[in-house]
Amino acid sequence: GSGLGSSSALVVALVEAFRVALDLPLGPGDVARLAFDIERRKLGLDGGRQDQYAAAFGGVNFLEFLADDKVVVSPLRVPRAYLNEFESSLVICFTGQSRRSDTIIKEQIEGLVGLNAETLDSMHQLKADAALMRDALLRGDMRDMAAILMRSWSAKKRTASGVATDAVDRLFDLAIREGAWGGKVSGAGGGGFLMFFTDPENRYHLISTLNAAGGQASSAKVTFEGAEAWSVPR
């Protein structure tokens, strides 16, 4: 896995294709719920549900997961200037390691079910940081977003062993030395993609340095459309 939610995006795309092919009266929330049910319950693949909603809705959203499987999707009205700065500051980097996230997720679940104090405290920190990240984005404060990512990365590493690897740490430390303001692994960890914020004027240097060190770094863009399917006349 890459940590970018690609497996969930694939399931969402398949559900969306069937929705169009069968003319089913389903909205993005229904598509996300069905994809979650297929991936997590029918196939028994451990994981969360944010990836399905991100793929089904698209755009920049704040997701709240409540009791009784209720999910609230709140689109964020981020000024275009702030999104431009966000995209100009963002660098993603594939570590060269793919991993199965279920091992890490199972350990996290065991820590929560077992009321492990460190796991619980770390999860509460990650939850609080999500709201702080939303507020920082709405203010257009990329420096604060980077600081939140750094704190979240520290908390995430405490949720399970294997979140950080030698390859992850090597590229992460290099990025910080080369001017990244902050960063974090994407997804469960154990490999996959890293994301960083840096001064837009330093972005090309950071990407070039990470690529020279064996990473696969690039810029990234925000997409505002969720999963799409269409019929082709024959």
Q: How many CB atoms lie within 10 A of CB 167?
A: 16
CA 34-39-42 angle, to 5 degrees, is 85
Whole-number Cα distances in Å, 210 to 148, 192, 195, 200, 217: 22, 14, 12, 16, 6
Which residue numbers are catalytic? 51
CB 15 within 8 A of CB 42: no
The helix, strand and coil proportions of the chain, stated in percent and rounded to the nearest 5, come to: 55, 15, 30
171-207: per-residue pLDDT in tens?
999 999 999 999 999 887 888 899 999 999 999 999 9
Give me the residue spans of the domains in the chain.
6-75, 80-218
Supply 211's token pair: 């690529």
Residue 90 has pLDDT above 70, yes or no: yes
Lowest mean pLDDT among 21-30, 47-56, 175-184: 47-56
The type of residue at 72 is V
Residue 1 has pLDDT above 70, yes or no: no
Distance between CA atoms of 9 and 192, rounded to whole angstroms?
A: 16
Q: Which fold has domain 80-218?
A: Alpha-Beta Plaits (3.30.70)
125-171: per-residue pLDDT in tens?
999 999 999 999 999 999 999 999 999 999 998 888 888 889 999 99
Distance between CA atoms of 99 and 131, rounded to whole angstroms?
A: 28
pLDDT, residue 191, reads 84
Residue 101 has pLDDT above 80, yes or no: no
Distance between CA atoms of 122 and 223, rounded to whole angstroms?
A: 30
pLDDT, residue 162, reads 80
**Number of residues that this document lists for the chain:** 234
Q: pTM for the complete prediction? A: 0.89
Supply 153's token pair: 């990365």
Beta bridge partners of 42: none
pLDDT, residue 105, reads 80
Distance between CA atoms of 71 and 50, rounded to whole angstroms?
A: 9
